[in-house]
């Protein structure tokens, strides 16, 4: 990874076993110290240990990003630990209700927005003064759902389209302060969760899991599903000086499934 983020401090929200973990570890391999935020302490501890193995420092902060006081504490601990923040990665995600918009429960959509949109705004506003100090950046994790309108994905697309609009508007607002705001939109990510899902689909049909994988991969230009590290590397790029003139942008990382 070189030293794209040498001695920078990266805050990652929504640290889980998949993409959140990869963003943390790949940022550390690029030279950054990491602030890990999530609700599950056991996951935080595991990822913190992995970061430590790279030789960089990690601080794990149990955080409910939908709560003002908890989010404010995250900022306080980040600054007490490292004295600066260079990048905020808004990776936290709550699965929206998977239902057609004509049927979906509106309260369920509102609940999804709390984590998927409002929490990203809350964290960005809280970290904005520190990011202005360092000429830092924000990276929002979005989704390929921006590129299609399949049935039952309406509430999901509503949340992610709103997150994209948020990122673009924040780019315009924070740009004069030297803060960049960008978006990464992954498609399929080949994680343990997706592997288990493909195995389930395969067992339902009585076919090998590899067949399900091959059928999905056939619709992707590279004929394979990107892994979490490959998506995380796009985040590292946008956080790094290599992307110093890039802001308000959405980078699709989907192996060529959709062209934007």
Which positions are catalytic?
156
Q: Which two tokens stand for residue 232?
A: 């995380």
- Given the structure tokens 């948020």, which residue do they identify? 166
Q: CA-based angle 70:71:74, to the nearest 5?
A: 90
- Please give the sequence-ordered ranges of beta strands (E in DSSP) within 8-122, or none if there are none: 9-13, 33-38, 58-62, 87-90
User: Beta strands of the chain (E only): which ranges?
Assistant: 9-13, 33-38, 58-62, 87-90, 137-141, 180-186, 250-253
For residue 70, what are its two tokens? Answer: 């908890």
Do 28 and 105 contact (CB within 8 A), yes or no?
A: no
CA–centroid distance for 144 within its chain: 13
For residues 17 and 26, give the distance between their C-alpha atoms in angstroms, rounded to a whole number: 14
CB contact set of 207 (below 8 Å; sequence gap of 6+)? none
**CA dist 128 → 35, 171, 180, 236 (Å):** 16, 11, 10, 19
User: Are 132 and 177 spatial neighbours (Cβ–Cβ below 8 Å)?
Assistant: yes
């Amino acid at each position: 990874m070189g030293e794209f983020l040498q001695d920078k401090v990266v805050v990652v929200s929504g640290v889980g076993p998949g993409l959140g973990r990869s963003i943390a570890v790949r940022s550390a391999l690029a030279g950054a110290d990491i602030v890990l935020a999530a609700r599950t302490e056991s996951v935080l501890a595991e990822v913190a240990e992995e970061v430590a193995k790279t030789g960089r420092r990690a601080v794990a902060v149990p955080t409910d990003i939908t709560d003002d006081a908890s989010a404010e504490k995250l900022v306080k601990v980040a600054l007490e630990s490292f004295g600066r923040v260079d990048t905020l990665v808004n990776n936290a995600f709550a699965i929206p209700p998977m239902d057609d918009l004509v049927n979906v429960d509106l309260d369920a959509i509102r609940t999804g927005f709390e984590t998927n949109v409002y929490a990203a705004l809350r964290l960005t506003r809280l970290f904005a003064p520190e990011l202005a100090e360092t000429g830092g950046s924000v990276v929002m994790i979005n989704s390929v759902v921006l590129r299609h309108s399949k049935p039952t994905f309406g509430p999901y697309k509503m949340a992610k389209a709103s997150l994209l609009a948020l990122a673009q508007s924040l780019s315009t607002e924070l740009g004069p302060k030297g803060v960049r705001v960008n978006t990464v939109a992954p498609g399929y990510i080949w994680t343990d969760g997706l592997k288990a899902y493909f195995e389930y689909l395969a067992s339902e049909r009585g076919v090998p899991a590899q067949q399900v994988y091959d059928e999905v991969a056939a619709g992707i230009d590279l004929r394979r599903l990107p892994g979490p590290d490959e998506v995380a590397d796009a985040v590292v790029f946008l956080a790094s000086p290599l992307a110093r003139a890039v802001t308000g942008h959405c980078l699709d990382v989907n192996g060529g499934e959709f062209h934007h």
